[in-house]
């Protein structure tokens, strides 16, 4: 199975990478990028690995969630569409995730 990032998910990754560059170290930022890649690869191999998430946003039916390896507070929200795992968002769990996802338009 292949995967595709929505532009919002790409922006989430870049934003978190920038945060680690500014508030941690280059090594942490790089480790985060590699962890996202590894976590997404795992999801594509086992798409039902993540827990199901319910949201009032009807366009997100089938949404699942899986933590980024070694960055458990960072959550990958995705859904499987045909033969593609679509990465919807990658968000820190302390954010108002329900509100953010409610506003997503696919």
Total domain count, the chain? 1
> CA of 58: how far to CAs of 19, 26, 29, 63, 91, in Å?
31, 39, 34, 10, 20
What CATH number is attached to the domain comprising 91?
3.30.2310.20
Q: Which domain holds residue 29?
A: 2-102
Between 82 and 19, whose confidence is greater? 19
Locus of tokens 């990478």: 17
Give the containing element (helix H, strand E) for 27: helix 26-45
Per-residue pLDDT band for 86 (boundaries 50, 70, 90) equals very high
For 1-106, strand residue ranges (E) read: 2-5, 51-52, 64-68, 71-81, 84-92
The pLDDT, as a whole number, for residue 59 is 87
């Amino acid at each position: 199975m292949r995967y595709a990032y929505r532009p919002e998910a790409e922006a989430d990754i870049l934003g978190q990478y920038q945060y680690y560059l500014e508030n941690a170290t280059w090594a942490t930022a790089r480790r985060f990028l590699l962890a996202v890649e590894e976590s997404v690869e795992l999801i594509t191999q086992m798409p039902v690995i993540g827990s199901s998430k319910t949201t009032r946003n009807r366009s997100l039916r089938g949404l699942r969630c899986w933590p980024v390896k070694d960055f458990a507070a960072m959550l990958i929200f995705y859904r499987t569409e045909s033969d593609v795992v679509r990465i919807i968002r990658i968000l820190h769990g302390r954010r108002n995730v329900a509100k953010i996802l409610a506003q997503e338009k696919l």
